[in-house]
Amino acid sequence: MMHELRLETPRSLAEASRILKETGGKVIAGGTDVIPQMRDGRFEANTLIDLSRLPDLDTIKEEGDFIVIGALANYTSIRQSQLLQETVPMLLEVAGLVGGLQTQNRGTIGGNVVNASPAGDTLPPLLALNAEVVLNNSDGERTIPLSDFLQGPGQTAIAPHELLSEIRFQKPPAGTKSTFLRLGNRRGMVISIVSAATMLLLDGGNKIEEVRIALGAVAPIPIRCPEAEALLQGQVLTEALIEQAAEMTVKAGSPIDDVRGTATYRQHGIKVLVRRGLLKLGGLR
């Protein structure tokens, strides 16, 4: 049976939090996850709270040593950000891979984070960046690491009356390179079968000063690969070392068989993407 659906369009974060508290409605940003989920009957709501008219939540800016991305920043604005191009190019790679242009114009980074899909493509890069999320409710705000925010497929630490306002991370040191790679079936409509975000900072002698590796779609939540990172840290980057590290990252994941790929394929995919990422960033291929 059809039921009435109210649409609220708050003009401030405080108003949005209040409406959320009063109605228990469903927040909608770009709607590229919410609308299909609603059509599939995956949740019911009497009120949709449209965040798209909130001012200033779509900005991408520097704040001291931090880069701050507003929850409503869409993939097109990420792709076009000079700041991100200069500091975290892997975020532009992600934004250019998500859906087609229509999805990139509507879909937001905040929506991807709160949706918390194991295959959400912004999540491995944000984990590699040690990103934090800023959550607001009518009483104030709190900031927590993304690694604590993500709790399981579609599950996060967001409280019922909270909104995500910002994602923040420390600006990587000058010279840090980064890349995002993924395996998927069809460009434009694809959900990652495996994805990998890699960051690398080398000194003049090719010694690794900093390395971070995060994987998507190979565990209930995107994960880091601490053992491979520890193996690489402080070493001179060589193809043999990369091979060893890539092999190690396979053990970090716990992939499953599903309609998009088998666990075995995913394990192989982890190794391929990590190897490819490190070779590319190290200028070895």
Residue 163 tokens read as 């909104």
Residue 164 tokens read as 């995500």
Rounded to a whole number, what is the largest CA-CA distance in the chain? 68
Closer to ligand FAD by CB, 256 or 279: give it: 256
Binding site for ligand FAD (CB under 6 A): 26-34, 51, 71, 97-99, 103, 106-108, 110-112, 114-115, 120-121, 163-164, 189-190
Local structure of 237: helix, strand or coil: coil
Closer to ligand FAD by CB, 88 or 232: give it: 88
Residue 180 tokens read as 């995002």
Provide, rounded to whole angstroms, the least separation between the CB of residue 129 and ligand FAD. Answer: 16
User: Rounded to an integer, what distance in angstroms lies between the CA atom of residue 148 and that of residue 157?
Assistant: 7
Provide, rounded to whole angstroms, the least separation between the CB of residue 104 and ligand FAD. Answer: 8
**Closest residue by Cα to residue 84 from 37, 131, 21, 140:** 131
Provide, rounded to whole angstroms, the least separation between the CB of residue 215 and ligand FAD. Answer: 14
Closer to ligand FAD by CB, 111 or 172: give it: 111
Closer to ligand FAD by CB, 215 or 231: give it: 215
Provide, rounded to whole angstroms, the least separation between the CB of residue 238 and ligand FAD. Answer: 33
Nearest-5° Cα angle at 12, 7 to 14: 100
Q: Which residue has the tokens 């306002």?
A: 165
Closer to ligand FAD by CB, 93 or 121: give it: 121
Closer to ligand FAD by CB, 156 or 176: give it: 156
User: Rounded to an integer, what distance in angstroms lies between the CA atom of residue 158 and that of residue 149?
Assistant: 7
Residue least distant from ligand FAD (Cβ): 111
The torsion defined by the Cα of 113, 118, 122 and 128, in degrees rounded to 10, comes to: 110
Provide, rounded to whole angstroms, the least separation between the CB of residue 166 and ligand FAD. Answer: 9
Provide, rounded to whole angstroms, the least separation between the CB of residue 66 and ligand FAD. Answer: 19
